[in-house]
Amino acid sequence: MEILEGSITAPAGFAAAGIHAGLKKAKKDMAAIVSACDAVTAATFTTNKVKAAPVIWDQGVLKGGMARAVIVNSGNANACTGEDGLRDAETTAGIAASLLGTEKGKVYVSSTGVIGVKLDMERIVSGVRTLCPLVSADGGHEAAEAICTTDTFTKEAAASVMIGNVKVTVGGMAKGSGMIHPNMATMLSYITTDAVISQETLQHLLGATVEDTFNMISVDGDTSTNDTCIVLANGMAGNAEILYGTKEYEEFSEAFRHVLGTLARMITRDGEGAGRFIEMKVSNALSKEDARKLARSVVSSSLVKAAFFGSDANWGRIMCAMGYSGADFDPSLVDLSFTSPAGTIEVVHSGDPVPFDEDEAKRILLEKEITVAADCHQGASSAVAWGCDLTYDYVRINGDYRS
């Protein structure tokens, strides 16, 4: 696998653009991703029962199996907007389709921003008409800028792999900083590839990869109404079709996992108001699902997050979070340690407290990136989850979000 400097337009046949359409005061607020030909598509969406209008529209696009483009607006989530919201999503897709020479059922639509406010369709329509003619292979970064809300930086990643003697590329971009929690925590993410692959195989790969990437991050415990991850595979690399269970599938999966995993970690690092990135590693659990539950529970705990904000080695909160995770494990066997660039310190061994130097622990936890390791000593399964601390700034950002 080769890690690339690139984004959503890294694979062959993809173009993108981002513009300011007037939905936000000054920053870019509309983006387009366009494939040169119809693309096989896979997607996953929010598990929230309150689904934004674009999510409902996109579920219909997914059923069609092929897609040509994605139109995204930031600044307004088009969620809890009733029948008007559904009509607005369809209208947006229809205008884009007419400009791109395709069917509206092949155009995904995404929105992110304030919930419960209807779209300014005059600006949306004008934005789509301006946006679509501007797409280019150089427009990936501008598109990534246009989908941001409270993000402090763009999230972009790309990688390539050889399938036989053919280079196949995967690119991606995402936005997310708040309302991030397991069970589709992506907010909005888009993945492109020029690979030849069937929808069934692509959907299987996406589902399996999301479980170990986007579903293993937590910023604040809130699952959005708009969470969406869309994949487009246009086949323009010309490789032999990637079949599930083959060596080629595993090779392609490596690049695919790299892109999604990189985006997931970027989202967590950019958690609203966050000062510290927390990696929770669980090893030797009884099952993969137990390991996932344990890791997710720790990074989702508000008390654990607050302890990291204070650089406090309050490991009891970590054990507590593991205990209510629903996972099957024996607390009396657990080893627990903290690691950062400043060193490693063990705080629990075989379930018993280990005397440690509080000053040394403080030095370790003052670093910006910290790993918590929990060895369960019961099985052979492992999992990693990513989170961040909970700070005063999180409350400030969300206290005046609409203003």
Look at the block and give the residue holding tokens 């790309």.
Answer: 158
User: Distance between the two ends of the chain, CA-based, in angstroms?
Assistant: 44
207-228 b/e (C-beta count within 10 Å ≥ 16 → b): eebbbbbbbbbbbbeebbbbbb
Q: What single-letter DSSP state applies at residue 69?
A: E
In this structure, how many other beta carbons lie within 10 angstroms of the beta carbon of residue 233?
A: 28
CA atoms within a 13 Å half-sphere pointing along the CA-CB vector of 179: 23
Which residue reads 């910290």 in tokens? 370
Tokens read off for 11: 């694979």
Angle at which helix 315-323 crosses helix 302-309, to 10 degrees, equals 160
217 phi and psi angles, rounded to 5 deg = -125, 150
Q: Determine the Cα–Cα distance for residues 244 and 254; give it in Å rounded to an integer.
A: 13
Distance CA 62, CA 84 (A): 22
Closest CA to 271 of 148, 109, 150: 150
Residues 46, 54: Cα–Cα separation, whole Å = 11
| Rounded CA separation 20/23 (Å) | 8
Structural contact between residues 232 and 33, judged by C-beta atoms closer than 8 angstroms:
yes
Q: Is 80 left (phi over 0), alpha (psi -120 to 50) or beta?
A: left
Task: Characterize the bridge pairing of strands 66-76 and 30-45.
Answer: antiparallel
The Cα 298–Cα 388 span in angstroms is: 11
- Judge residue 191's burial from the number of C-beta atoms within 10 Å of its C-beta, 0-12 exposed, 13-18 middle, 19 or more buried: buried
The residue from 41, 186, 209, 228 that is catalytic is 186
Yes or no: say if 172 and 189 are a contact pair by the CB < 8 Å rule: yes
Query: How far lies 393's CA from each of 74, 225, 267, 274, 383, in Å?
Result: 22, 23, 17, 8, 30
Active site residue 268: no
Q: Supply the residues annotated as catalytic.
A: 186
